[in-house]
Structure formats: C-alpha cells, structure tokens
Amino acid sequence: MRHRAPGTPQGATLPTPAPRATRAAPPAADPVRLADFNAAPAPDAEQALLGCLDDRHWARRLTAHRPYPDLDALLAAADEASYDLAPGAVAGALTDEATALPPAAGPAERTALRAAHAAYESRFGHCFVLCLDDCPEDERLDRTLAAIRTRLGNEPDEERLVAADELRRRARARLTRLLAPGAGLPRT
C-alpha cells in the first residue's frame, strides 16, 4: 500500500514504511503486584528491592517513598536513587553482580568469557556488569565479549560511570520483573 503525503500532488505516493524490528516488550507491571509492594511491610519490600540492586540505602530510599502510583513512578524513583549512589556504594553493589554464561556456551566460549572477565577485573578491580535484558539469548555471549573488549579501553573513572549505568539498567529490569504478574513479593 502506498500513501500520499499532505501537499503531494495526486499520483505521487510514498512507499509504506518498512516495519521496524521490534524487541519483546518487558512484562507489564501487574497493578495488584504494585499494590502488594506498596502495602508490604518495610523489611519485606526492602529485601525484595535488594534483589534488584544490592545497596541497602537505595532499597530503604525506595521503600520509604511508597506508595507508588504506577511502575513508571517507581522506575523514576529507582533511577534517581541510583544516580545518587556514592562510588563506594557502586563498588559494593558490583561485588555481587556477574554476567552469567549463556546456557548453551561451550568450552571455548566459557574459556573466552572467563579470560575476558579476568582481564576486566584485573584492570578495574571489580566485576564486569552488563544489562542484557534487551538482547536475544543467542546474541548474549557475543555482545558480552564485545562490550568487555570495548570497555577495557575506558579510563577507570569513565568505566565506573558505565558500570554504574549498567547497574541502574539492571535494577530497572529487575524491578519490572519483580512486579510482573506471578512474580515478586508474596501476596499480603
């Protein structure tokens, strides 16, 4: 099908735009799950948040600002709190992070990834972190290796900022999954 743009003479048409490649949308937050999160006792909400980003100050801050009207408000608050993480807090949160091997990785891939991680940790003193939620499973190994190679060229201060941003992205993705239907806190 062809469309005519406004002001285009009769007979002149524009081709129909090609469909864009689409990513799988993240699971929509379940309003009931968000209500459960908002109503959960503070220690339970904080514990659930620590599974998204291992920083007690971040989790307490988000817990203290409940209730959230919707997932977007919670994600905005999470972003703001993660931007305020002190360098020591980022380093602490990085301690428990790791980018897992894809289940289908063979011995050569495992060796390459272990070597790349070791080089990264040797250069920067913390583990490599990368949010791969928007990446198809079969591309994760290649994307991880490429990201490590690229980021090894960063200066330490620059890499701390990149790693902190990857932590923030992971926390957002985990929060979304936490509040997805059938996940997260036990119902109250």
Tens-digit pLDDT string for the chain (188 aa):
333 334 434 443 333 333 333 334 445 567 788 999 999 999 999 999 999 998 899 999 999 999 999 999 999 999 999 988 877 777 777 776 666 666 667 888 889 888 998 999 999 988 888 888 888 888 888 899 999 999 999 999 999 899 989 989 989 999 999 998 766 554 43
- pLDDT attached to residue 75: 95
Boundaries of every domain in the chain: 98-169
| HEC string for the chain | CEECCCCCCCCCCEECCCCCCCCCCCCCCCHHHHHHHHHCCHHHHHHHHHCCCCCHHHHHHHHHCCCCCCHHHHHHHHHHHHHCCCHHHHHHHHHCCCCCCCCCCCHHHHHHHHHHHHHHHHHHCCCCCCCCCCCCHHHHHHHHHHHHHHHCCCCHHHHHHHHHHHHHHHHHHHHHHHCCCCCCCCCC
- The reported pLDDT for the residue numbered 26 is 46
Q: Which CATH number fits domain 98-169: 1.10.3330.10, 1.10.510.10, 1.40.20.10, 3.40.190.10?
A: 1.10.3330.10
Q: What's the pTM?
A: 0.73
Q: How much is the pLDDT for 86?
A: 76
Instruction: Report pLDDT for 84.
Output: 83
